[in-house]
Structure 1
Amino acid sequence: MEVVQPMADFQDPSQEWRRLFSELLGTFFLVLVAAGGGMMGQAFPNTISRTAAVVAPALMVLSVILFMGKVSGAHLNPAVSVAFSLRGDFPWRRVPGYVLAQLAGAAVAAWFLQAVIGISATTGSNYPASGYSSFDAFLMEAVLTLGLVSVILGTASGAQNVGVIGALGVGSYIALAGLWGSPISGASMNPARTFGPDLIGADFSDFWVYIAGPLTGAVIAVGVAFVLRGYGGGRSGSAAAQGVLGTEVKRSDR
């Protein structure tokens, strides 16, 4: 009984706090390396290349999916949570909690970095490059997020987002997108990743780009997923989006 009851409590879908803590922790680690690359590069010049700065978040996302994907689905990104819900794989009532947890994790990470490194968190945020308009950056963020969410939804359709294949696919895409797309917009693809440093650094210049761009790309990706695979909401997609703690399945896989 001493073993069975705690396990039953853990499997209880009402234990939403476990999922929320998972999202907060995972987003904390993501922003720690994503914003930390720019901030450490500012504090210690010529130590972190652009390649290293964009690959580090990809490796962190890969790791986070592997160690906590089964708990919460490892969204780490408000745009991903919205996309999973639009797809029918994730309950809408859980989206506000997930988004708040992601924003909180990002803010804590940015605060930690600024406190320890002694450099403004704005140096680890995302802004349109000099010589490029906010609209240029918006288009870049939308297209990059379209690819990211397409990869996530595609691997989730086979329940691979809770395993090695999903982790490798998503991590690889983030690295590739950052390598070629980061000079113009920073390749955020994630409102929370930009929100944390902007909040702690008190500079929300062009922040709309990093909300509208990722959300636009995510919505388009849901449409692409429908064209490629039809409706979502099946067993495998729901398990990938929600984790495996009391997954709510809307439709059986066909």
Structure 2
Amino acid sequence: MSLSAIRINPTDAVSSEPYTKLSSDNLDNGFVQPPPLRVRLICELVGTCLFIFFGAGCATKTDNLLTVSAAHALVTVWLVYVFGPVSGGHFNAGATIAFAFDGKMKIIEVFGYLIAQAAGALLSGALLLALYGTGTTLGTPGLQPKVTVMHGFAIEFLCTIVLSFVICFTTAYNKHKEAAFPIGLVVFSSFLLGADRDGAALNPWRWLGPAVASGTYHSEAWIYAVGPIGGFLVGYILFRLYKWSWNFNRNTQFLQV
């Protein structure tokens, strides 16, 4: 058995084609097969790069809360709309790890996605450095004065719980193109809440790309990895509990006389 055939959750039904062919009604658009892994990895690399480039780039230019929040929300909407039907539109290590726990990804896909996202983050940092030069943090998230590490962690953790739940909820009922707008609104709300407190990364790569390029490292940087990844996992668990409570009567029929 090849590595590409091994699934995270072996008890789940294995689908030979987890990604559908891109089509629009009866229109022949030239896409004759589901997107292969190489194409999905390119989408994750490019999508992660663009999310950080536009989001961190805007944060580099201004500290206006509304502007920075809108920039991250808008880029999220069109990235999920464009790349969501192809790669799932993760662009976030937390999202990929959560979907891995869901058993919807093969092991090689999980590692491939994480590597592609990391490469996209570093590429975005290089582009920001070329655009803005040295002498700036390039929009690297960081704690503001009087904001404690635990407060920053709470913002990252709680906001990504909500984001994770909304992603699971909307994609369970809708296509990615339909889910793009509510996901973008959650990003907008989260940045309004936390961008002026801890930078509101909500994504390990959102910190990594600008931090590496600008050489901005802090002892509290761990909150931008642990918070979002932990939040995505808890949000996924909450969605599974919600789904279980929805189907509770059906799941317990065997107990009824």
Give the TM-score band, short-chain normalised. Answer: 0.7 to 0.9
| Residue 240 of structure 2 is aligned to residue 226 of structure 1 | yes
> 1:196 maps to which residue?
209
The answer for the alignment partner of 2:230 in structure 1 is 216
Is 1:207 the counterpart of 2:221? The answer is yes
Name the SS for the 1:124 alignment partner: coil
Please give the per-residue CA displacement for 1:65-120, whole angstroms capped at 9, x wherever unaligned. 11111110010100011111212333343111111111111111121111122244
| Equivalent position of 2:129 in the other structure | 114
Q: Does 1:35 find its partner at 2:56? A: yes
Deviations 1:29-72 (A, max 9, x none): 1001111012223xxxxxx6221111111101100111111110
Alignment match, 2:78 = 63
Larger radius of gyration: 2
* Deviation beyond 4 Å, 4+ runs, structure 1: none
Q: 1:104 is matched with which residue?
A: 119
**For 1:183, what is the secondary structure of its paired residue?**
coil
RCO (CA 8 Å, sep 6+): is it higher in 1 or 2?
A: 1
Alignment correspondent of 1:89: 104
**141-150 or 120-129, which moves further after superposition?**
120-129
Greater share of residues in helix = 1
Residue 121 of structure 1 deviates from its aligned partner by 5.6
2:178 equivalent to 1:157: no
Given the alignment, which residue of 169, 177, 192 partners 1:179?
192
CA distance in 1, matches of 2:76, 2:100: 21
Residue matched to 2:152: 137
Structure 1 unaligned blocks of 5 or more: 42-47, 232-254
CA distance in 2, matches of 1:102, 1:121: 23
Q: 3-state SS of the aligned residue for 2:173?
A: coil
2:15 matched residue in structure 1: none
The share of aligned pairs that are identical, in percent, is 26
Partner of 1:146: 161
What one-letter code is carried by the residue in structure 1 that aligns with 2:232? Answer: A
Taking structure 1 as reference, are residues 220 and 52 closer, same or farther at Cα in structure 2, changes over 3 Å only?
A: same
Aligned residue type for 1:21: I
Looking at structure 2, the residues matched to 66 and 7 of structure 1 have their Cα atoms a distance apart, in angstroms, of 17
Structure 2: gaps (5+ residues)? 1-27, 246-257
Please, what is the CA RMSD of the aligned residues? 2.0
Matched-pair contact (CA < 8 Å) for 1:121–1:198: no
Q: TM-score of the superposition, structure 1-length normalised? A: 0.79
Equivalence for 1:235: none
Aligned match of 1:236:
none
Contact 1:111–1:121 (8 Å) recurs in 2: no
